[in-house]
Structure 1
Amino acid sequence: MESNLMAINTYHMTLNTSNVKTSDSWIECNRIGNLVMVNGCVKITKDVNVYTGINLASGAPAPCCDKQLYTGAIAQDNTYSSCLLSVSKNGEINLYVRWKKALAGDVFYYEFCYICK
């Protein structure tokens, strides 16, 4: 019997241990065709000032867009959505803080999809 299902490829993501408390954080990255699905939880170990960012992880497939890919806003420890994630052309995932400073120990949950090359 033939299967019409596409293979699911799992990517090994490396958490940035200088910015993320790895014992309280995780990330999963799976790809079906050109669709990439990323989900996880991260607890940061450093304060992040407004309008700055930190690197969380690396190893994601490169997005198909010519520039960095940005996600929709994510919540910061049950507050209003004031942060977002990006995936760079070299597969790094970064957290960017907008209107409210993120403090060491803050936890972020995220789930997003994007099209890769």
Structure 2
Amino acid sequence: MRPLSKDLRERVVAAVGAGESCRSVAARFDVAASTVVKWSQRYRATGSVAPGKVGGHRKPVLEAHRAFIRERIDQTPHLTLHKLKDELAIRGIVVSHNAVWTFLRREGLSFKKNTVRS
């Protein structure tokens, strides 16, 4: 979903600034009253109605632990994803199952998915 236009945001904030209630402005411009409140708060705080950054990229949490993870997989080829996650937790690195899986996939490393199946 894309942010609504800057022009619309400016007209909404101007109407509120002119003394109109947030609810009536919301009805007139066909936006939610909470949107009018948030845009007005953003304008008062920053002087701009421009939308904040959407999305972005985070540096992988496990990047700093690459050597340890590679070493553990080399030492124990049958290591499961859950056991690796548990070993990281013992070291004080608490991450989700998905974070470990994503890291391994990005690194091109494989892991045993199920200890019951050989």
TM-score category, normalised to shorter length: under 0.3
- Greater relative contact order (CA < 8 Å, ≥ 6 in sequence): 1
TM-score by length of 1: 0.19
* Structure having the higher Rg: 2
Structure 1 or 2: more strand by fraction: 1
